């Protein structure tokens, strides 16, 4: 009996491992490489801090370390949710969205009369948008997913605030809630919606479009990797070559050199990655352009959220309520990049293109 059960367990474990690898060996491999790279950079930074603690700016190391830890967390969580299937990824992003919106509304002053509107926003529009994201692969439901917040949400919010009966600063209050919903929920929901896309790719050998039957998690991984690479590259470009600031009152370090440099490097990185691994359904040059677009959107996101923070007089959303990690600080770039990446991908390579 004992040997039998032993073999049972053995085969079970072996099968489980095989199943896991069958999910997508490439994504998992790349994910592990990225996690290993990030960890080694983190170790190296800490070593640098200890070794040359008098000549290296400790504030810079601290900022850098915090980012690395945030990225590691995101990759590990992404990896886990990739194993457990798209609904898990959706739930993970729903949680992030919900928390980001909490931070946003907490920081933005609203009035007593907005209370019930906010209740609708938190408990109806947030879950509904993510439910629709799960059905966004279906062509009819895709429309609902695409317009729920920009059309229904925006109109509902303004009407509900009007019904509450307070006219003071009406447009300002409406805009604040609409903006929070648009950025924290609508924009971010496009990241997990990538998992539900039905795509084709251009097969150069036969010269025609074919269905792309790889794991969609590759697209999500590509998006997150490019956003964070862009973040990292800007960090170095700004510090090494940053001469002309884009807008000093908005962001103290973001420069034009960083913007162009990071976009070009991101494009090159995407090109090499695509050429080596064929991770996305794009052509090699298509991937390069996507890399650049993602990088530009990431900078736009960081600048926009920075403008809001400056206006409110806080340096980070995290400092607003001390002890919180500041989710919004970490996802501002991806919020801007996700919907553009999603729609460009769908426009050029959505299954409907082949019809």
Interface residue list for other proteins (CB under 8 A): 102-103, 105-106, 110, 112, 115-116, 118-119, 122, 320-324
| Residue closer to other proteins, measured from CB, 107 or 344 | 107
- Integer Cα distance of 66 and 58 in angstroms: 12
| Residue closer to other proteins, measured from CB, 113 or 199 | 113
| Residue closer to other proteins, measured from CB, 105 or 290 | 105
- Which 8-state DSSP code applies to residue 353? G
Query: Residue 87, Cβ neighbours under 10 Å: how many?
Result: 13
Q: How far is the CB of 98 from other proteins (least distance, A)?
A: 8
> What residues form DSSP beta bridges with 211?
200
- Integer Cα distance of 332 and 326 in angstroms: 11
| Residue closer to other proteins, measured from CB, 33 or 321 | 321
| Residue closer to other proteins, measured from CB, 196 or 317 | 317
Q: How far is the CB of 195 from other proteins (least distance, A)?
A: 27
Q: How far is the CB of 307 from other proteins (least distance, A)?
A: 21
Q: How far is the CB of 178 from other proteins (least distance, A)?
A: 16
User: Cβ distance 87 to 134 under 8 Å?
Assistant: yes
| Residue closer to other proteins, measured from CB, 110 or 154 | 110
Q: Which pair of structure tokens corresponds to residue 192?
A: 């997990």
Sign of the alpha-carbon dihedral angle for 67, 35, 239, 273: negative
Name every residue whose Cβ is closer than 8 Å to that of residue 121 and which is 6 or more positions away in sequence. 101, 153, 157, 177, 180, 181
Q: How far is the CB of 105 from other proteins (least distance, A)?
A: 6
Contacts 24+ apart (CB under 8 A), 273-282: 273/222, 273/225, 277/26, 277/30, 279/26, 279/27, 279/30, 279/218, 279/221, 279/222, 280/218, 280/219, 280/222, 281/199, 281/200, 281/201, 281/212, 281/214, 281/345, 281/349, 282/201, 282/345, 282/349
| Residue closer to other proteins, measured from CB, 177 or 279 | 177
- Integer Cα distance of 273 and 127 in angstroms: 35
Q: How far is the CB of 306 from other proteins (least distance, A)?
A: 20
Q: Is 172 helix (H, G, I), strand (E, B) or coil?
A: helix
User: Cβ distance 338 to 188 under 8 Å?
Assistant: yes
| Residue closer to other proteins, measured from CB, 122 or 135 | 122
Q: How far is the CB of 164 from other proteins (least distance, A)?
A: 11
| Residue closer to other proteins, measured from CB, 110 or 283 | 110
Q: How far is the CB of 303 from other proteins (least distance, A)?
A: 24
Q: How far is the CB of 324 from other proteins (least distance, A)?
A: 6
Q: Is 202 helix (H, G, I), strand (E, B) or coil?
A: strand
- Integer Cα distance of 42 and 192 in angstroms: 28
């Amino acid at each position: 009996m004992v040997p039998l059960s032993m073999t049972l367990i053995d085969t079970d474990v072996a099968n489980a491992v095989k199943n896991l690898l069958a999910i997508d060996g490439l994504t998992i491999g790349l994910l592990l490489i990225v996690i290993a790279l990030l960890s080694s950079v983190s170790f190296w930074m800490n070593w640098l801090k200890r070794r040359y603690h008098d000549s290296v700016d400790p504030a810079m190391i601290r900022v850098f370390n915090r980012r690395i830890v945030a990225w590691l967390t995101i990759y590990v969580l992404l990896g886990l949710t990739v194993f457990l299937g798209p609904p898990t990824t959706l739930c993970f992003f729903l949680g992030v969205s919900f928390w980001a919106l909490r931070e946003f509304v907490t920081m933005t002053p609203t009035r007593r009369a907005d209370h019930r509107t906010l209740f609708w926003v938190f408990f109806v529009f947030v879950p509904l948008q993510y439910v629709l994201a799960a059905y966004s692969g279906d062509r009819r439901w895709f429309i609902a997913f695409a317009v729920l917040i920009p059309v229904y949400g925006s109109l509902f919010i303004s009407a509900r605030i009007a019904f509450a009966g307070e006219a003071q600063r009406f447009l300002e209050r409406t805009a604040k809630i609409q903006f929070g919903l648009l950025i924290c929920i609508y924009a971010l929901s496009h990241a997990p919606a990538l998992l539900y896309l039905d795509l084709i790719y251009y097969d150069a050998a036969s010269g025609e479009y074919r269905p792309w039957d790889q794991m969609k998690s590759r697209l999500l991984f590509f998006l997150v990797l490019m956003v964070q690479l862009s973040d990292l590259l800007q960090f170095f470009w700004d510090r090494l070559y940053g001469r002309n600031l884009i807008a000093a009152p908005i962001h103290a370090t973001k420069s034009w050199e960083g913007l162009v440099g990071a976009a070009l490097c991101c494009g090159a990185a995407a090109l090499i990655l695509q050429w080596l691994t064929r991770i996305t359904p794009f052509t090699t040059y298509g991937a390069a352009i996507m890399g650049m677009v993602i990088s530009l959107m990431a900078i736009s996101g960081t600048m926009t959220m920075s403008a809001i923070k400056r206006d409110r007089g806080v340096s980070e959303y995290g400092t607003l309520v001390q002890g919180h990690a500041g989710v919004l600080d970490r996802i501002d770039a991806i919020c801007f990049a996700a919907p553009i990446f999603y729609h460009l991908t769908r426009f050029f390579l959505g299954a409907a293109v082949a019809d």
